[in-house]
Structure 1
Amino acid sequence: MNANRTIPGHLQLYLTGEHDCSYIEGLRARTLFVDPMARIDRERAQWLQQIGFRRSGMHFYRPACRGCQRCIPVRVPVADLAMSRSQRRNAALNDTDVRIAFKPVQLRPVHYQLYERYILARHSDGDMADDVSVETYMRFLLSPWGGQTWFIEAYLGERLMSVAVTDIFPDGLSALYTFFDPDLAARAPGTYAVLTQAREAARLGLSYLYLGYWIEESPKMAYKDRFRPIEAWDGQQWQRFERAEQIRFAS
């Protein structure tokens, strides 16, 4: 990585060389990282999140690809969330017999076993499946970063259905990663995890649920656009889009 520049708050940034894009075949990508030695507390992490950065393990990053701005940071203003008909059905179904539990960051075999099953079943064609291990899982989801993280579990009876790894910021929750039982996909546990996080953010009096990057051409990212209204970062400000509006920025 090459040193790039310093941003407000005295954080040094580093820019990677080009590498294959993880989301769109045939494209090349670059990534801008915050100095991993920098002290990142909840307030500074919130500020980074508000300008389009994302956390992976102990690293904060955002795409910086040549001539490409397809990765769009999105967040849901939870007080205004208007569930679609299918989302209301999802909530009604799962609310009847799913139990939610909040756990602190800790390596639990039941979590890792579910994560491994999920990656191999749902992302077997991606980079994550090439290096699925306890070590990579811990670096990705258990690394300390200076703030607070929950593992939000959803149980169907005694069966672990999903785990939503969720960061807590002063202005909202951040959906870092969710993995679920592939055999329970008919219950749309990913959608239910987002609804659970949004409701918890609202209960705590927080404003937003950050969903990371949305890419229009990526089918794996399509679910994010279904939560409306949604706000998208255009590089300068957050723009709001209602249910009938496509996420488009004025040129």
Structure 2
Amino acid sequence: MRHTLPLAPQFYVTAPQPCPYLEGRMERKLFTALQGDNAEQLNDTLSKQGFRRSQNVLYRPSCADCSACLSARIDISRFAPSRSQRRVLKRNARLRRRVAAPWATEDQYALFRDYLDSRHATGGMADMDVFEFAAMIEETPIRSRIIEYTEPADDAGHPYGGLSAVCLTDVLDDGLSMVYSFFDPSLARDSLGTHVVLDHIALAREMGLPYVYLGYWVPGSPKMGYKARFSGLEVYHRGSWTRLDAPERFAADTHPLAVPPIAEQVARITLPDSRPVRRDG
């Protein structure tokens, strides 16, 4: 029997679970499948509306009584590195960038495990095995790349030295989306996380793309505070992209009536061909 995809994406809502960013709060996500011939166009369109990709799923926070998580991107035309960011670039000038198709390797997984064990030992990804890691890297229906940052060639003549940082990156029609990055925790003093963002800004400029998408900025979360240090930052707030000129203005409103109902949130989503969306669950 032949099966066809629905005419419009169907949106679902996850069950509430403890928030990984703000203690004492519960998170919930609105999500849809990313599949079919229209996958890249759907990803481009929904990314501009605060959605993020995880393998074959697009999701956006849709918590019942909190709106703290704000999708963030850097407007390349307004970005200028700070003095400390210029020091980071100088400190890591030895690293070599290598861009490849999204294919997982043992070296990547070893670095990933070191990173999680050091930085996020109790996080939601702490138990991820090598097969789940490979799925995270390789299961993508769109134009994705794995970007490695390595030490220069060693004395033995190997093409490159050790692996220092890795980023899974999606190429959108208007920018680069940093899906997930990790780095050698023993090199914490080199600020590799900041370096990877700065290099993505340089890469986007080389490609003529106007934005670098960073994921979510969460006011009040120490894990996400670093994103506000990049000039040119914008957040998707109340249906539009807004400059983050004064971070204190975006303190999360936690009153239950401040969050629109799911049906209203879905009705406001614009699809590539402007069809109405369907909601299930």
TM-score normalised by length of structure 2: 0.80
- Cα distance change, pair 39–21 in 1 and its aligned pair in 2 (3 A): farther
- Cα distance change, pair 104–37 in 1 and its aligned pair in 2 (3 A): closer
Q: For the Cα contact (< 8 Å) 2:219–2:247, is it kept in 1? A: no
- Cα distance change, pair 11–235 in 1 and its aligned pair in 2 (3 A): farther
Unaligned runs of 5+ in 1: 1-5
Matching of residue 21 in structure 1 with residue 22 in structure 2: no
Matching of residue 197 in structure 1 with residue 194 in structure 2: no
Cα displacement (A) at 1:192: 0.4
Find the counterpart in structure 2 of residue 35 from structure 1. 33
Cα displacement (A) at 1:78: 1.2
Whole-Å separation in 2 of the counterparts to 1:92 and 1:102: 21
Whole-Å separation in 2 of the counterparts to 1:17 and 1:98: 42
**Aligned pairs (5 A) from 1:178-193:** 178-193=181-196
Whole-Å separation in 2 of the counterparts to 1:24 and 1:184: 27
Q: Which runs of 4+ in 1 moved over 3 A?
A: 35-40
Deviates further, 117-126 or 186-195: 117-126
Whole-Å separation in 2 of the counterparts to 1:156 and 1:107: 19
Whole-Å separation in 2 of the counterparts to 1:241 and 1:24: 20
Whole-Å separation in 2 of the counterparts to 1:40 and 1:72: 26
Deviates further, 191-200 or 228-237: 228-237
Find the counterpart in structure 2 of residue 67 from structure 1. 65
Q: For the Cα contact (< 8 Å) 1:232–1:247, is it kept in 2? A: no
- Cα distance change, pair 104–92 in 1 and its aligned pair in 2 (3 A): same
TM-score normalised by length of structure 1: 0.89
Whole-Å separation in 1 of the counterparts to 2:135 and 2:19: 21
Matching of residue 248 in structure 1 with residue 246 in structure 2: no
Cα displacement (A) at 1:142: 2.0
Find the counterpart in structure 2 of residue 81 from structure 1. 79
Aligned-residue CA RMSD in angstroms? 1.9
Aligned pair count reads: 239
Matching of residue 148 in structure 1 with residue 151 in structure 2: no
SS in 2 for 1:60: strand
Q: For the Cα contact (< 8 Å) 1:74–1:212, is it kept in 2? A: yes
Deviates further, 35-44 or 176-185: 35-44
SS in 2 for 1:210: strand
Q: For the Cα contact (< 8 Å) 1:18–1:30, is it kept in 2? A: yes
Find the counterpart in structure 2 of residue 133 from structure 1. 129
Cα displacement (A) at 1:16: 1.4
Matching of residue 208 in structure 1 with residue 211 in structure 2: yes
Find the counterpart in structure 1 of residue 167 from structure 2. 164
Cα displacement (A) at 1:64: 0.7
Matching of residue 113 in structure 1 with residue 110 in structure 2: yes
Find the counterpart in structure 2 of residue 3 from structure 1. none
Larger relative contact order, structure 1 or 2 (CA cutoff 8 Å, min sep 6) = 2
Cα displacement (A) at 1:38: 5.6
Cα displacement (A) at 1:169: 0.5
Find the counterpart in structure 1 of residue 92 from structure 2. 94
Unaligned runs of 5+ in 2: 1-5, 153-160, 254-281
Matching of residue 225 in structure 1 with residue 228 in structure 2: yes
Find the counterpart in structure 1 of residue 3 from structure 2. none
Q: For the Cα contact (< 8 Å) 1:90–1:188, is it kept in 2? A: yes
Whole-Å separation in 1 of the counterparts to 2:89 and 2:248: 25
Whole-Å separation in 2 of the counterparts to 1:247 and 1:170: 31
- Cα distance change, pair 35–151 in 1 and its aligned pair in 2 (3 A): closer
